[in-house]
Structure 1
């Protein structure tokens, strides 16, 4: 009896570290939020807006860490390998999670199986913008000039596989024109060259470019929203102009596979509260990031639906990587 009791006590002692670990507070150290593009883009902006509020709410510093490369896939691949202890996340977006699965057949991860999609953080809408030096002020003028000079007009994007890349290819396909794609390493470098006229056109966040449009430094030709934006009522939608292009650049928070449910729940509830604060929504509107509340289950369904939505656009634009 004494020996049996000693064995049970020894077993209980061995079990204590794992129990204590399971019940340890979260977060227990600084939390990293990976960004799949360089500084200056909408994902980077959204992360830097919410990170201070998350640090205050959860009692640990939330650090934004840019990991650009391979159309956003580099950061996603890193996230997949991270421990599922709630200390590394990705500011998820279209490029690695809804475009890459179709665009890059040799992708090394499964979007729905290899990640924990936690919270929706809103979406921005793209705009068709041009530099005045192009002489293009309307979509009709862009089409006419591209047909007269095939391959001479250039459009920039934040990178191969980005939403701007696919939107531009989709527009070119629907319009029956040839325009040259110029990929950049992020939206920041793209905007520098667009403002200088080094690249003539871009399919890039409309609201972000509104100050330049209002100043006459850029022209706003169309927006990819379902209806005109209240912030830019004079800019028509692509659908108004006869092109069935409605796309959004969404943002969310995703983690490695199998993040514990209590951490997922705390993050989703916390972010749902943060994203409706007036101070946060005011900053979101600087880039036109429109937030709609979603549960974690709704966000997962949204990601799956976005993959299905983008697939025909990528195939129609002949943008599948053949390497």
Structure 2
């Protein structure tokens, strides 16, 4: 019975974190109305019956169903979980009717292609009036290590002991990562002679080269980073780099090459990512014609 109670509390913790993250996540290929409908269907239950129920197996089934739904919606999936509890109540606290418990949690899971392992401690203080808890330690291990853009963010999440920020930002990072990958692949397939991507086993390109066939040595490089700010907000950051022969720079009296990165940022603000890239590629194709 005690083991079942521990499992209930563990699932409640996972559900709470995913529910909070779910409030700010956009469901791919599903409109807001559809998401609300699915969420309402999942949470339909008789509240009075739930409160009076003493059947732990029933609670476990409900929580697992809810967790499964949230995993589909957010892309987060928990593969394994364990928890150890230690009573650290002092004699003085016991006399005052206070109970202090330290929970050590370990879990592993993935958000689409990114896997992670978490170890964290929760200190819980129980009184007659309420129960309060705080995360006292958080350690995050990410696999594989090729997602270099996540390393600084993981360090911040550990320092702040913020599980909500970790799950929310990880979801959006993966969304942008997949979008960048699809976008580069689209332009490579559409313009195979003009667009070039890094090759090799495990290549995860964060830049795309656009080459001008009629002007050897002339290349435009789009560098696409995924930025995670101090608050965990995820956003794309695209920059244009130029590779131009020295002779061409000397002949560029109007400073067109020098102004290219700034012009590209302005183009992004007006057209958006895909249309701006399309316009850039076509401008070089016009040079090839």
Q: TM-score range by the shorter chain?
A: under 0.3
| Greater share of strand | 2
Larger-gyration structure (1/2)? 2
Scaled by the length of structure 2, the TM-score of the pair is 0.23
Scaled by the length of structure 1, the TM-score of the pair is 0.21
Structure with bigger RCO (C-alpha 8 Å, 6+ apart): 1
